[in-house]
Structure 1
Amino acid sequence: MTETLGDQPVVVAIRDAIVRGDFVPNQRLVEADLSAQFSASRANVRAALIELANEGLVERVQNRGARVRAVSIEEAVEISEVRMMLEALCAAKAAERINDEEIAELEQLGETMRQAVAGGDVVGYSGLNQRLHRRVREISGQRTAGQVLERLRGQSVRHQFRLAMRPGRPSVSLPEHLAIIEGICAHDPERAQAAMRAHLESVIKALREADGDPLRG
């Protein structure tokens, strides 16, 4: 039986803590400490760390236990390139499947994103950004792509958050997100797919620029 933290499996609790940044890259993950922190048995913590290692969030070092895996800019770019292909597929599928209620939801989400950028709420906008991408995946009904994307998101989330915090970045990404919403809500798969690809290409460019190498921009 899977040990839980309330209604939450231990692996989910540790994964969320890594994604939130409670544990920093290369930080050691000591089973005894995690067992106490999450009120879980050592066996369940060990199993959770093995699962997270398979997901790419944790790495196990011989004779030194586990630590949070550091993701380089280059790897974050590679992840974003894979995301671009899969999220473009999901955007096209979402445009085919979306219903009137979901159209209203995405349009309201776009308006809330506008208000967040206008009000300078960068953290709030970052959360809305993640919510939009998640809803596009859900509306698409493409479960396999959605599962892969969720695992990739966890690996690159720190870079995505740092990117979202860069001055001026929300003003760049907002029209890209609104174009995605417009294409999906118009039931136009090609337009939605192109808008999603353009957005992720912009993310990749910004990640490379953040790495300080203008030749990669």
Structure 2
Amino acid sequence: MTSPAADDAYLRLRHLIYSGKLMPNERLVEADLAQRLEVSRAIVRTALVRLGQDGVVILTPHRGARVRVVTDAEAVEILQARAVLEALAARSATRRATAREIGGIRKILAGMSRKIDEGDLLGYSEGNAALHAAIIAAARHETAARLITGLRAQLVRFQFRTILVPGRASHSLAEHTAIVEAIAGRDEEAAEKAMRHHLGHVEAALSHTNRRIIGES
């Protein structure tokens, strides 16, 4: 059993990776992280071992740790797995979301629409992440939430790429609108279908950018 301090360091370090503040392939120096988190190097070492077990960090003997790099092909597989889990979450949210939570989800969606009008694609991408997180929270499906969190962490370096595909932003907003309306309407089948449809299009957009990058290299 780990200590509360070790658990806290693990969660904080995981958040730094999930949020992109620590980037894929970035070297993780124990002394630097200990200073950043204001904990001992032993606690950092324990947190890194746990993150290695999660598949988020690569630990190499005598060479230290790095944030794991996900390949383009693996990113597509991750999106396929997410589509199944997030469709389940969307379906669960239609039954379990409170009126307050649905109001919050609608508010996030409205903010995403404004970001598109302003041409702020980074802001839109942040709203996108917030919307998915709100739906997952409203679903109250702990196992799905835990698995989705782990999968999303692997896509840090891909999360903004797909929204740069010409015309993708407006299509993305329409897809998210369909998801939100289905949840608000308590339509389980429609919510599940809309989420699968959305993440299927994200997968296609990512595949498109992968082909373009390969063609340019």
TM-score normalised over the length of structure 1: 0.89
Deviation of residue 57 (structure 1)?
Answer: 1.4
CA distance in structure 2 between the aligned counterparts of 1:150 and 1:202, rounded to whole angstroms: 20
List alignment gaps of at least 5 residues for structure 1: none
Deviation of residue 212 (structure 1)?
Answer: 1.1
CA distance in structure 2 between the aligned counterparts of 1:2 and 1:99, rounded to whole angstroms: 32
| Count of residues in correspondence between the two structures | 211
The range that moved more, 162-171 or 117-126, is 162-171
Aligned match of 1:14? 13
Deviation of residue 211 (structure 1)?
Answer: 0.8
CA distance in structure 2 between the aligned counterparts of 1:161 and 1:2, rounded to whole angstroms: 34
Question: Cα 1:82–1:211, aligned 2, differ >3 Å: closer, same or farther?
Answer: same
Counterparts of residues 52-201 of structure 1 (less than 5 Å):
52-201=51-200
3-state SS of paired residue (1:67): strand
* Amino acid in the other structure paired with 2:12: A
Q: Is the 8 A contact 1:95 1:186 kept in 2?
A: yes
Deviation of residue 151 (structure 1)?
Answer: 1.2
Deviation of residue 165 (structure 1)?
Answer: 4.2
Q: Is the 8 A contact 1:177 1:199 kept in 2?
A: yes
CA distance in structure 1 between the aligned counterparts of 2:206 and 2:22, rounded to whole angstroms: 22
- Calculate percent identity across the aligned residue pairs: 41
Deviation of residue 106 (structure 1)?
Answer: 2.2
Aligned match of 2:5? 3
Q: Is the 8 A contact 1:94 1:137 kept in 2?
A: yes
Deviation of residue 187 (structure 1)?
Answer: 0.6
List alignment gaps of at least 5 residues for structure 2: none
Question: Cα 1:36–1:100, aligned 2, differ >3 Å: closer, same or farther?
Answer: closer
What does the per-residue CA deviation read over 1:142-197, in whole Å, with 9 as the maximum and x for residues that have no partner? 11101111111111122112323444332221100000001111110000000000
3-state SS of paired residue (1:116): helix
Q: Is the 8 A contact 2:56 2:68 kept in 1?
A: yes
Q: Is the 8 A contact 1:98 1:187 kept in 2?
A: no
CA distance in structure 1 between the aligned counterparts of 2:202 and 2:37, rounded to whole angstroms: 35
Q: Is the 8 A contact 1:97 1:139 kept in 2?
A: yes
Question: Cα 1:18–1:97, aligned 2, differ >3 Å: closer, same or farther?
Answer: closer
What does the per-residue CA deviation read over 1:20-54, in whole Å, with 9 as the maximum and x for residues that have no partner? 33333222212122222322111100011011112
What does the per-residue CA deviation read over 1:45-78, in whole Å, with 9 as the maximum and x for residues that have no partner? 0011011112221011132121111011111111
Question: Cα 1:20–1:96, aligned 2, differ >3 Å: closer, same or farther?
Answer: closer
Counterparts of residues 202-217 of structure 1 (less than 5 Å):
202-212=201-211
CA distance in structure 1 between the aligned counterparts of 2:17 and 2:92, rounded to whole angstroms: 31
Deviation of residue 2 (structure 1)?
Answer: 2.9
RMSD between aligned residues: 1.9
